[in-house]
Amino acid sequence: MTTPIVALVGRPNVGKSTLFNRIVGQRIAVVHEQPGTTRDRLHAQAEWNGVTFTVVDTGGIEVLPETVSAGKRPGPDRVLTQDSAPYIPLIRTQAEQAIADADAVIFITDAASGLTAADEEVADILRRARCPVFLTANKADNERLRQDALEFYVLGLEKVYPVSALHGTGVADLLDDVVEALPAAEVEAEEDANQDSRIKIAIVGRPNVGKSSLLNKLLGEERAIVSPIAGTTRDAIDTHLEWDGTPITLIDTAGVRRRGKIEQGVERYSVMRALKAIQRADVALLVIDGVDGVTAQDTHVASLILEEWASVVVLVNKWDAVEKDSYTMDEYTKWVRETLKFLDYVPVLYISALTGQRVHKVIPAALAAQEARFKRVPTGELNRLVQDALARHSPPSKRGRRLKVYYASQPGVDPPTFVFHVNDTQLVHFGYERYLENQLRKAYEFTGTPLRLVFKPRGQRE
């Protein structure tokens, strides 16, 4: 089921990131380093009053006069009017994207700075939003500022929530109303999922790698607009088809853009669109430009897929344009697996959406990955495998204590989930967890599918 998305929208320096951290309950850096994958922390799961949702920290919607192009910036108390006109289209585009991609929007303003032209322009668009909008006057750190926040009622967005993201004041009242507005979207997504039993395959990747061209080649028709201009696809496009009698939904998505190379804030919204597509998908086709090779942005898209536990097939597109010899494909595969270290279990296909080379293998590979999501290992076989693995490579000790695995079971699928009952979960080393996962993969076909390994103290219920 798709998790509702709550977008934080507003101009720079109004405290969006502070409120983001407050809502998710921890301080999350923009870039979180983890071996083998770049995780741009633009979103995080949050829970309030029993409702789980995804919070997205968007970029600031900037309004600057032409006179500051040399680097000077107006003070926070300056209200820009005539000089802000050239930036109104950008403001409008970003706000409209936030509306289209979110289930609720928290529109953040600055109670200390007061009302600005940027606030008015965004509010003008948000008043026509179909999703709920919650106008928040942040930095209302004292009673005087809470009274000053009343001026934001002029924006016509009904209620104003004076809050202090830094101190937490007023945030609970805000979240009470936000989550109350979310269950309808959550139930709707669940009902849609029940009505649609099609296998959902999302085509994801950075801009201009050939995602829409691949969709058209798979369908044999011009279903999507194809353009060499990066970022042509703005919204996810769902297309139904049948493959050897199997009903499938193909989801074409906007490219996840590279941070710092485009207008501020747009990359966040493209992440929101890709994230929604991946959340709905059973299998993600990660498209890579064969000429450019694996980039940091490719690893970022891979991290989004990993976080949603989707199955993956890596497609190296534009293979017809790559200079190669008899060793190129093997060397390229090695490079892909070394760069995408945590996707070393996925199939890699070399295709050309332009010429159709090997495109006929894409859907069968995706269906194989989907089938692996529901594979079960009998409990007896699983425990024999685990005991053999322990005998071949015993767990490392920690402060004189060694990890003991008493028994294992597989309580769930989609993705396959294995529970290991141990003496102490603190003794589980990341490297040993990877070792056990590799042993499972050697013994059984889990092609393209992540495995969820859970370690619990003996006696605790699954």
pLDDT digits (tens, 9 = 90+) for 351-397: 999 999 999 999 999 999 999 999 999 999 999 999 999 999 998 88
Torsion region of 241: left, alpha or beta (phi above 0 gives left; psi -120 to 50 gives alpha): beta
- Average of pLDDT values for 79-83? 41
Question: For 178-221, how does the pLDDT look when each residue is reduced to its tens digit (9 = 90+)?
Answer: 999 885 544 444 444 444 678 999 999 988 898 888 988 888 75
**Separation between Cα atoms, residue 175 and residue 164, nearest integer Å:** 13
- Of the listed ranges 30-34, 192-196, 254-258, the one predicted with least confidence: 30-34
Question: For 446-460, how does the pLDDT look when each residue is reduced to its tens digit (9 = 90+)?
Answer: 999 999 999 999 765
Please identify which residue in the block is written with the tokens 């502070």: 18
5-187 and 379-457 share one CATH topology?
no
**Separation between Cα atoms, residue 417 and residue 449, nearest integer Å:** 11
What does the pLDDT read at residue 460? 59
- Average of pLDDT values for 396-402? 82
Assess if CATH 2.60.120.10 describes domain 5-187: no
What does the pLDDT read at residue 422? 92
What does the pLDDT read at residue 397? 81
- Given pLDDT bands bounded at 50, 70 and 90, which one contains residue 64? very low
Closest residue by Cα to residue 298 from 317, 276, 320, 323? 317
Closest residue by Cα to residue 202 from 269, 308, 280, 257? 280
What does the pLDDT read at residue 224? 52
Higher per-residue pLDDT: 35 or 306: 306
- Average of pLDDT values for 76-82? 41
Which span out of 12-16, 249-253, 331-335 was modeled with the highest average pLDDT? 331-335
What does the pLDDT read at residue 351? 96
Q: What is the pTM of this model?
A: 0.64
- Average of pLDDT values for 425-451? 93
- Given pLDDT bands bounded at 50, 70 and 90, which one contains residue 444? very high
- Of the listed ranges 27-36, 303-312, 376-385, 402-411, the one predicted with least confidence: 27-36
| Average pLDDT score over the chain | 80
The domain 379-457 belongs to what CATH superfamily? K homology (KH) domain (3.30.300.20)
Q: Which amino acid is at 13?
A: N
pLDDT above 90 coverage of the chain, percent: 37
Note the Cα 333 to chain centre separation in Å.
25
The answer, yes or no, to whether residue 229 has pLDDT greater than 60, is: no
What does the pLDDT read at residue 222? 56
**Where in the chain are the domains?**
5-187, 197-372, 379-457
Please identify which residue in the block is written with the tokens 């179909």: 130
The answer, yes or no, to whether residue 63 has pLDDT greater than 70, is: no
Please identify which residue in the block is written with the tokens 């500022």: 145
Query: Tokens for 182?
Result: 């979310």
Question: For 298-316, how does the pLDDT look when each residue is reduced to its tens digit (9 = 90+)?
Answer: 988 898 888 889 999 999 9
The domain 197-372 belongs to what CATH superfamily? P-loop containing nucleotide triphosphate hydrolases (3.40.50.300)
Q: Which residues neighbour 56 within 8 Å (Cβ) at sequence distance 6 or greater? A: 5, 6, 7, 8, 42, 43, 102, 268, 271, 272, 275
Higher per-residue pLDDT: 377 or 263: 377
What does the pLDDT read at residue 89? 61
What does the pLDDT read at residue 276? 78
**Omega cis (within 30) before 4:** no
Q: 393: number of CA atoms within 13 Å, CB side?
A: 11
- Given pLDDT bands bounded at 50, 70 and 90, which one contains residue 70? very low
- Given pLDDT bands bounded at 50, 70 and 90, which one contains residue 96? low
Higher per-residue pLDDT: 159 or 101: 159
